[in-house]
Protein backbone atom coordinates (compact mmCIF):
# COMPACT_ATOMS: atom_id res chain seq x y z
CA UNK A 1 0.00 0.00 0.00
CA UNK A 2 2.86 2.36 0.74
CA UNK A 3 4.01 2.02 -2.85
CA UNK A 4 0.57 3.07 -4.09
CA UNK A 5 0.58 6.12 -1.83
CA UNK A 6 4.09 6.98 -2.98
CA UNK A 7 3.11 6.72 -6.63
CA UNK A 8 0.05 8.90 -6.07
CA UNK A 9 2.11 11.54 -4.22
CA UNK A 10 4.74 11.52 -6.97
CA UNK A 11 2.15 11.93 -9.73
CA UNK A 12 0.51 14.73 -7.78
CA UNK A 13 3.83 16.50 -7.38
CA UNK A 14 4.63 16.15 -11.07
CA UNK A 15 1.27 17.55 -12.24
CA UNK A 16 1.50 20.81 -14.22
CA UNK A 17 0.74 23.95 -12.20
CA UNK A 18 -2.56 24.64 -14.03
CA UNK A 19 -3.96 21.27 -12.92
CA UNK A 20 -3.44 21.92 -9.22
CA UNK A 21 -6.38 22.86 -6.95
CA UNK A 22 -4.62 25.75 -5.28
CA UNK A 23 -4.10 27.45 -8.63
CA UNK A 24 -7.81 27.27 -9.43
CA UNK A 25 -8.87 28.40 -5.96
CA UNK A 26 -6.56 31.43 -6.12
CA UNK A 27 -7.66 32.10 -9.70
CA UNK A 28 -11.34 32.08 -8.76
CA UNK A 29 -10.75 34.35 -5.77
CA UNK A 30 -8.80 36.74 -8.00
CA UNK A 31 -11.57 36.72 -10.59
CA UNK A 32 -14.16 37.54 -7.91
CA UNK A 33 -12.05 40.47 -6.72
CA UNK A 34 -11.65 41.79 -10.28
CA UNK A 35 -15.38 41.54 -10.97
CA UNK A 36 -16.17 43.24 -7.68
CA UNK A 37 -13.86 46.15 -8.40
CA UNK A 38 -15.05 46.57 -11.98
CA UNK A 39 -18.73 46.50 -10.98
CA UNK A 40 -18.05 49.49 -8.73
CA UNK A 41 -16.80 51.40 -11.75
CA UNK A 42 -13.22 51.26 -10.55
CA UNK A 43 -13.31 54.90 -9.51
CA UNK A 44 -12.59 56.31 -6.13
CA UNK A 45 -13.80 59.60 -4.72
CA UNK A 46 -11.77 61.96 -2.59
CA UNK A 47 -12.81 65.16 -0.85
CA UNK A 48 -10.87 68.30 -1.73
CA UNK A 49 -10.06 71.06 0.75
CA UNK A 50 -12.74 73.30 -0.79
CA UNK A 51 -15.51 70.83 0.19
CA UNK A 52 -16.07 69.35 -3.25
CA UNK A 53 -15.46 65.74 -4.15
CA UNK A 54 -13.42 64.56 -7.07
CA UNK A 55 -13.31 61.09 -8.51
CA UNK A 56 -10.18 59.59 -10.04
CA UNK A 57 -11.39 60.44 -13.54
CA UNK A 58 -11.35 64.16 -12.70
CA UNK A 59 -15.09 64.83 -12.51
CA UNK A 60 -16.02 67.16 -9.70
CA UNK A 61 -19.03 66.28 -7.56
CA UNK A 62 -20.97 68.15 -4.90
CA UNK A 63 -19.76 67.01 -1.48
CA UNK A 64 -23.31 66.61 -0.16
CA UNK A 65 -24.40 64.04 -2.75
CA UNK A 66 -23.41 61.78 -5.60
CA UNK A 67 -25.53 63.49 -8.24
CA UNK A 68 -25.34 67.06 -7.01
CA UNK A 69 -29.13 67.42 -7.10
CA UNK A 70 -30.09 65.27 -4.16
CA UNK A 71 -31.55 66.67 -1.00
CA UNK A 72 -30.25 65.25 2.26
CA UNK A 73 -33.81 65.12 3.62
CA UNK A 74 -35.21 63.08 0.73
CA UNK A 75 -36.50 59.60 1.48
CA UNK A 76 -35.06 56.50 -0.15
CA UNK A 77 -38.12 56.26 -2.40
CA UNK A 78 -37.77 59.92 -3.45
CA UNK A 79 -34.07 59.38 -4.15
CA UNK A 80 -34.82 56.32 -6.28
CA UNK A 81 -37.55 58.18 -8.16
CA UNK A 82 -35.22 61.15 -8.77
CA UNK A 83 -32.43 58.90 -10.02
CA UNK A 84 -34.89 57.09 -12.27
CA UNK A 85 -36.13 60.42 -13.67
CA UNK A 86 -32.54 61.52 -14.34
CA UNK A 87 -31.87 58.24 -16.09
CA UNK A 88 -34.95 58.53 -18.31
CA UNK A 89 -34.04 62.07 -19.30
CA UNK A 90 -30.59 60.96 -20.45
CA UNK A 91 -32.06 58.77 -23.19
CA UNK A 92 -35.50 60.10 -24.01
CA UNK A 93 -37.42 63.37 -24.01
CA UNK A 94 -40.50 63.82 -21.83
CA UNK A 95 -43.01 66.45 -20.87
CA UNK A 96 -43.31 67.11 -17.17
CA UNK A 97 -46.58 65.21 -16.91
CA UNK A 98 -45.28 62.47 -19.19
CA UNK A 99 -42.28 61.89 -16.95
CA UNK A 100 -44.50 61.79 -13.86
CA UNK A 101 -46.72 59.25 -15.65
CA UNK A 102 -43.67 57.15 -16.56
CA UNK A 103 -42.47 57.09 -12.96
CA UNK A 104 -45.95 56.17 -11.77
CA UNK A 105 -45.96 53.36 -14.34
CA UNK A 106 -42.73 52.18 -12.66
CA UNK A 107 -44.79 51.96 -9.43
CA UNK A 108 -43.51 55.12 -7.75
CA UNK A 109 -46.21 56.97 -5.81
CA UNK A 110 -47.62 60.15 -7.34
CA UNK A 111 -45.97 62.15 -4.55
CA UNK A 112 -42.53 60.58 -5.13
CA UNK A 113 -42.85 60.91 -8.92
CA UNK A 114 -43.82 64.58 -8.62
CA UNK A 115 -41.00 65.19 -6.15
CA UNK A 116 -38.51 63.54 -8.51
CA UNK A 117 -39.57 65.57 -11.55
CA UNK A 118 -39.42 68.79 -9.56
CA UNK A 119 -36.03 67.84 -8.09
CA UNK A 120 -34.27 67.34 -11.44
CA UNK A 121 -33.11 70.30 -13.47
CA UNK A 122 -34.95 70.14 -16.79
CA UNK A 123 -35.47 72.61 -19.63
CA UNK A 124 -39.00 71.62 -20.72
CA UNK A 125 -38.68 73.73 -23.89
CA UNK A 126 -35.62 71.68 -24.85
CA UNK A 127 -37.56 68.48 -24.10
CA UNK A 128 -40.38 69.70 -26.39
CA UNK A 129 -37.87 70.48 -29.14
CA UNK A 130 -36.32 67.01 -28.87
CA UNK A 131 -39.75 65.37 -28.93
CA UNK A 132 -40.81 67.41 -31.97
CA UNK A 133 -37.62 66.48 -33.83
CA UNK A 134 -38.12 62.83 -32.90
CA UNK A 135 -41.66 62.85 -34.30
CA UNK A 136 -40.47 64.44 -37.55
CA UNK A 137 -37.79 61.77 -37.91
CA UNK A 138 -40.48 59.10 -38.21
CA UNK A 139 -43.59 60.89 -39.51
CA UNK A 140 -44.79 63.91 -41.45
CA UNK A 141 -46.75 66.59 -39.61
CA UNK A 142 -48.22 69.95 -40.33
CA UNK A 143 -47.18 72.68 -37.91
CA UNK A 144 -50.53 72.55 -36.09
CA UNK A 145 -50.59 68.75 -36.17
CA UNK A 146 -47.20 68.59 -34.46
CA UNK A 147 -48.26 71.17 -31.88
CA UNK A 148 -51.37 69.09 -31.19
CA UNK A 149 -49.23 65.96 -30.80
CA UNK A 150 -46.94 67.68 -28.30
CA UNK A 151 -49.99 68.94 -26.39
CA UNK A 152 -51.26 65.35 -26.31
CA UNK A 153 -47.86 64.29 -24.91
CA UNK A 154 -48.39 66.70 -22.01
CA UNK A 155 -46.39 69.74 -23.05
CA UNK A 156 -47.88 73.19 -22.39
CA UNK A 157 -49.02 75.36 -25.31
CA UNK A 158 -45.89 77.51 -25.10
CA UNK A 159 -43.57 74.50 -24.81
CA UNK A 160 -45.25 72.83 -27.80
CA UNK A 161 -45.02 75.98 -29.91
CA UNK A 162 -41.37 76.44 -28.95
CA UNK A 163 -40.58 72.79 -29.76
CA UNK A 164 -42.21 73.01 -33.18
CA UNK A 165 -40.53 76.34 -33.95
CA UNK A 166 -37.10 74.71 -33.51
CA UNK A 167 -37.90 72.25 -36.31
CA UNK A 168 -38.45 74.92 -38.96
CA UNK A 169 -42.18 74.27 -39.32
Q: Measure the CA–CA gap between 58 and 37, rounded to whole angstroms.
A: 19
φ, ψ at 46 (rounded to 5°): -125, 150
Q: How confident is the model at residue 24 (pLDDT cuts 50, 70, 90)?
A: low
- Exposure letters 31-67 (e unless 16+ CB within 10 A, then b): eeeeeeeeeeeeeeeeeeeeeebbeeeeeeeeeeeee
Q: What DSSP state is assigned to residue 129?
A: H
Give yes or no for residue 38 having a pLDDT over 80. Answer: no
Q: Which of 59, 34, 131 is nearest to 88 (CA)?
A: 131
Per-residue pLDDT, 29: 78
Give 67-120 pLDDT, tens digit per residue: 444 567 889 999 999 999 999 999 999 999 999 999 999 999 999 999 999 999
pTM of the model: 0.56
The domains located in the chain, with CATH, are 76-121 (1.10.10), 124-165 (1.10.10)
Amino acid sequence: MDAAKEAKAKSKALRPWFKKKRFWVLGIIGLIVIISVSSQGGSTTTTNSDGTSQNDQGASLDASSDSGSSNSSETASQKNARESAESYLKYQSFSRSGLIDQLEFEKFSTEDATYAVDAVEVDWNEQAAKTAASYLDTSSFSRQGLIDQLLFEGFSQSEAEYGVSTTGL
